[in-house]
Chain A
């Protein structure tokens, strides 16, 4: 069964600093990987996804992530944090086929705080 580990439940950065949110996954087959963002009292918004092809994926709001199969990682980065990036971020994995088709397995989430 697949699983996701997000290292660090809370990350705090200064405005303009690099954002790095860590995600490691476990899957017996090549996974599909996603990052979602959740603002308070709202649903999840897709930031970016990796399915096949290029391992460096660019998403919305200046975020990007790199799929590293050898490290089973899919870390999320942004060169320069904005105050509006403050939210909770979830990494998720999905595998193709099986009896739980479409099941997204989420990490526990990382709360990003951006201070002036």
Chain B
């Protein structure tokens, strides 16, 4: 039990729609990262937020966007859904360290299916 929660657990959307996924960080953590895990693959880094600003992004198009709120909870928004967006979306929280050595604690994920 990491203390990181995500909602909803499962979601089914139609191609072209928009979706919002939510994450609540572990208490005391000020950084949140989002990952996409396609079936049979390792997680792929989408982006990270620190102090409500994006401070790192992976190779994902702009239709993937996010927010971090003052209470350090976070949202992942995906516009114009495509079939390939079907995946498990993982949120991870951590405490920012300038060394980069902080451990990321993962939530249980949201399973998104795009039909």
Contacts and interface: CB of A to CB of B under 8 A. Distances in A.
Given A102-B33, A102-B56, A108-B42, A97 B106 contact: no
Contact count band on B: 20 to 34
Contacts of A96: 98-101
Nearest to A51: B101
Contacts of A101: 48, 50, 55-56, 100
Given A100-B45, A102-B31, A43 B100 contact: no
A115 interface: no
Contacts of B41: 108-109
A36 B104 CA distance: 10
A84 interface: no
Contacts of A42: 108-109
Given A32-B101, A107-B42, A109-B42, A102 B108 contact: no
B4 to A, nearest CB: 8
B26 interface: no
Interface in B41-80: 41-45, 48, 50, 55-58
A44 B43 contact: yes
A32 B101 CA distance: 6
Interface of A: 4, 32, 34, 36, 41-46, 49, 51-52, 90, 92, 94-97, 99-109
